[in-house]
Structure 1
Amino acid sequence: MNTLATTADRAASPPTPTRVNLWTHRLPLAIAVMGLFGWLVWSVSARQGLLLLVGVGLGWGLAAARFGFTTGWRHLVENKDPAGVYGQILLLALLAAMSMPLLGHFPEATAALGPPSFSLLIGAFVFGLCMQISDGCGSGTLYKAGLGVPLNMAILPMFAIGSFMGSVHLNDWLALGATEPIGLVDKLGAGGALTATLLALAVVAVGIRLWSGKRLSLKTIPSRWLWGAAVLAVFAALNLLIAGQPWGVVYGFGLWAAKGATALGLFDPTQNAFWSDPGHAQRLSQTLFLDITSITNIGILAGALWVAPKRPQETRPLTGVQWSVGLLAGFLLGYSSRLAFGCNVGAMVSGISTGSIHGWIWVPMAFLGTLIGIRVRRHFKF
């Protein structure tokens, strides 16, 4: 009765007050974003200002389309519903079609390369497991925190701490065994890499079609997965064009925690192999506003806030055990994503779309972890 009444009331409400309420809610955010944009252009660089807007677009696309990498995988496993995964395949195909020519035309642009290693295998598996427990990957944690989901808001700092700790230990993990990164664009050229990638994605789509029994058709996929894939592909390609590097999430988290630990005197970066590297040391000494990943992460939060309702949606209260398991999963998400050289965004989306072999290794290992993570999620009744 109450739900029906609420729905009827909303349907009967005139459109003008609704628009006024929305703009009353969003106007301060718009002012803040444009103020930060102007300050970045004036005081930092035009590139950083543009990347902020790219991040806003990514956050808006993720939140408005509810483009959840984690839920897409879970629905495929639990319900044999391939719509979300088909949407992700479309995203990869569109982004590869834009990114690989850019890499071929602009040699200064870099691919999201990661070394095949034991670190990658273990990190991807653990990440796939934990993302199902916490109901979010790197981008999912960001946009759901922006939407005001309590668990994801609490997981965000745990993710950052985990990413930092993973970076501190990364060289020890790589010592277990690693090979040089392999980039298809370097090996095959932009055209050959794109052809190989699209063929591989087609094979994956056919495999999912045979397993799920549901054919791949634009009519059978909810529109949000289609336009969400298109929006994310465009903004991710803009990220590569403007920044000269693919879209990433995890590095920014680790940098935030590293800066905090260093400022508190808890960490000496000069004694660590990862953070004493000249590139990482420079970012650690600079303002966060100069870091590419941090700026886009801030933009993603703002884009998700734009979509968020004025009043946060009610969520089912979690028990103490659920909170403990969720926060531990959040820490392990950060730790494992650093070992795996990215999350669903940095390793899968950016890795595959820019021709990195490590992205193709990441996916099956993360999917194996997902199969276990879904069982753990059921056990703790998330």
Structure 2
Amino acid sequence: MSAVGVDSAPRTPPPPAAQAPPARPGVVTAGILLAVVVGLAVAAEAGWKLTVLYAVGLALGTVLFHSRFGFTSAWRQLVSVGQGRALRAHMVMLAAACLLFSAILGGGLGLSGAPEGTVAPAGLGVILGAFLFGVGMQVGGSCASGTLFAVGSGQTAILYTLGGFIAGSVLSAFISPWIKTLQNTGPTVSFADTPLGYPGALLISLVIIAAVVGVSLLVERRRTPPPIEQPPTARGFLRVLRGSWPLWAGALLLAGFNALTLFISGGPWGITSAFGLWGAKFLGWIGVDISGSPFWSDPENTAKLQASVLADKTSVMDFGIMIGALIASALAGAFVLHRRVPLRLALGAVLGGIAMGLGARLAGGCNIGAYFSGIASFSLHGWLWGVLAIAGTYAGLLLRPLFGLGNPKPGDAVC
């Protein structure tokens, strides 16, 4: 078919969204009680700042669920059928975050001293780690943020992904010297390190974002992708509590909450560092001591291992995300526990989680800590992470059928 024929082909409109099923009042009540209990425990253990960050985590879980803001699905849609709408939502999120971060970082604004962005070397660690993470999230079925809000909303299969994620993070503690060597093989580049400072960094970032949007539109013109399937939703005002939100709304809210995290804590949002801590704590609880591993032997990390998880910023926010998604999904009637998970699917989830756990540690972060927060902090490594994650997506799509997972095809609505 000629290029003209492709460009002029009629686009199939997205299927209408179904009505949201009834809310689950029992689950909503249990979720609210759990949120209050955990919040009071955090306040007693760590004070008001971490309690506020826990509340930010609750809000993030709500936003991630209602907007179905995906990273795994966005890259899968782009690579498999050329659908770039979700990727463009990433760019809206990144543009808004860059604008907010430039004001906070440039003005030195914050409640915990001078804020610091996530700036890291663009070396072999990012290249290998982001590629491995890209493979893992397609086989495991979700990314770091997606794993948390999917677990919170009752997707039982993702518990296997979370277990693998934690296992991969624990394994990385034993090879941390090798990981550090790989991470330091490249230059540390911040767009703010120019004579124009943060205004210049913002301009550079917006130019790159515009280029990505342009490329995604070009890909769509050449491939005529299928529409994105609309999740069930309520109508009118109830849509706020029981419906699906537009992707652009999710993008702007995620950017705002990441900036708020930076302002309160002095550092951006991250997710996966908590998984290694949870794994090490669990092993210690059953009598397996890994405090002598290279990673946990570092004095700073030793202090974290000895302290309560309720005093760890990333853990507290992760708990908030899961509980926030639980409440939001129950209100929307979408909280459903799947009692049976096929063996192949469970195996893929575990292996994908392990790959992401190792990949995140190699790359110095996940789709949130390295990609989202790295780009928002004007670090070159964030963009490199995104490129390599897309490359890993290609490999991950080839592996998905081995574990009983399908890939979008032309003519099918994608989700």
Asked whether 1:183 is paired with 2:190, we answer yes
Whether the 8 Å contact between 1:138 and 1:250 is mirrored in structure 2 is yes
Equivalent residue for 1:356?
379
Aligned residue number for residue 151 of structure 2: 145
- Counterpart-to-counterpart distance in 2, 1:44 and 1:317: 39
Which amino acid is the alignment partner of residue 327 of structure 1?
V
Q: Quote the Cα distance in structure 1 between the aligned partners of 2:299 and 2:381.
A: 24
Q: What corresponds to 1:41 in structure 2? A: 43
Residue 266 of structure 2: aligned partner: 244
**Corresponding letter in the other structure for 1:241:** F
1:305 corresponding residue in structure 2? 326
Question: How far off is 1:181 after superposition?
Answer: 2.8
Q: 2:309 matched to which residue of 1?
A: 288
Q: Identify the residue that residue 108 of structure 1 maps to in structure 2.
A: 114
Summarize deviations over 1:130-153 as a string: whole Å, max 9, x none: 101111011111111111112101
* Separation (CA, whole Å) in 2 of partners of 1:52 and 1:41: 9
Tell me, in whole angstroms, the C-alpha distance in 2 between the residues paired with 1:50 and 1:373.
Answer: 37
> Is residue 90–residue 229 contact of structure 1 (8 Å, CA) maintained in 2?
yes
> How is 1:265-284 mapped onto 2 (pairs within 5 angstroms)?
265-272=287-294, 274-284=295-305
What's 1:3 paired with? none
Query: How far, CA to CA, are the matches of 1:35 and 1:380 in structure 2?
Result: 38
- Equivalent residue for 1:29? 31
What is the identity, as a one-letter code, of the residue corresponding to 2:186?
A: T
TM-score (structure 2 length as normaliser): 0.81
Shift of 1:117: 2.1
Structure 1: distance between partners of 2:181 and 2:51: 39
Distance 2:45 2:305 in 1: 19
Q: Structure 2: how far apart are the matches of 1:100 and 1:326?
A: 37
Change (3 A) 1:130 1:268: closer
Q: Amino acid of the residue matched to residue 283 of structure 1?
A: K
Deviation for aligned residue 1:43: 4.1
1:271-299 CA-to-partner distances (Å, cap 9, x unmatched) read 51x22223222111111111110000000
Provide the secondary structure at the position in 2 that maps to 1:245: coil
Could you list the per-position Cα deviations for residues 194-222 of structure 1 after superposition, in whole angstroms to 9, with x for gaps in the alignment?
A: 1111111111111111122189xxxx998
Contact 1:124–1:365 under 8 Å retained in 2: yes
From 330, 342, 360, give the equivalent of 1:337.
360
Task: Report the AA paired with residue 198 of structure 2.
Answer: A
Query: Gaps spanning 5+ residues in structure 1: where?
Result: 1-6, 12-17
Name which of structure 1's ranges 97-106 and 295-304 shifts more when overlaid on structure 2: 97-106
Farther-moved stretch of structure 1 (242-251 vs 274-283): 274-283
Point out 4+ residue stretches in structure 1 off by more than 6 angstroms: none
Partners in 2 of 1:43 and 1:329 — Cα distance?
34
Cα offset, 1:339, TM superposition:
0.6
Structure 1 residue 262 displacement after superposition = 3.8
Whether contact under 8 Å (1:103, 1:185) holds in the other structure is no
Report the Cα offset of residue 93 of structure 1: 0.7
SS at match of 1:213: helix
Q: Do the aligned partners of 1:93 and 1:198 also contact (CA within 8 Å) in 2?
A: yes
Between Structure 1 and Structure 2, the one with more helix by share is 1
Cα distance in 2 for residues equivalent to 1:265 and 1:53: 33
Shift of 1:322: 2.9
Going from structure 1 to structure 2, the CA distance change for 1:23 and 1:324 (only over 3 Å counts) comes to: closer
Secondary structure of 2:386 counterpart: helix
Deviation by residue 1:291-335 (Cα, 9 ceiling, x = unmatched) = 110000000001110122357447696532332222111111111
Matched residue of 2:83: which SS? coil
- Structure 1 counterpart of 2:218, from 196, 207, 210: 210
- Alignment check: 8 A CA contact 2:326 2:335 kept: no
Matched AA of 2:370: A
Does 1:254 pair with 2:276? yes
- Partners of 1:267 and 1:280 in 2: how far apart? 14
Offset, 1:381: 2.9
The residue identity in structure 1 corresponding to 2:87 is V
TM-score when scaled to structure 1? 0.87
Identity, % of aligned positions = 30
The separation in 2 between residues aligned to 1:281 and 1:194, in whole angstroms, is 37
Residues in 1 aligned to 2:46 and 2:341: alpha-carbon distance in whole angstroms: 42
How far apart are residue 101 of structure 1 and its match? 1.5
The DSSP-based 3-state class of the residue aligned with 1:128 is: helix
Shift of 1:56: 0.5
Shift in CA distance, 373/191, structure 1 to aligned 2, threshold 3 Å: same
**1:15 corresponding residue in structure 2:** none
Q: Displacement, 1:248?
A: 0.3
Q: Distance in 1 between matches of 2:274 and 2:257?
A: 18
Instruction: Please state how far the C-alpha of 1:36 moved relative to its aligned partner.
Output: 2.8
Structure-2 change in CA distance of 1:153 and 1:173 (3 Å): same
Q: What is the CA distance between 1:375 and its match in structure 2?
A: 1.7
- Aligned 8 A contact 2:130 2:385 in 1: yes
Number of residue-to-residue matches in the alignment: 362
3-state SS, counterpart of residue 77 of structure 1: helix
Deviations for 1:21-44, whole angstroms, at most 9, x for unmatched residues? 554431232233133323433442
Alpha carbons of structure 1 residues 180 and 258: separation in structure 2 relative to 1, 3 Å: farther
Q: Residue 237 of structure 2 aligns with which residue?
A: none
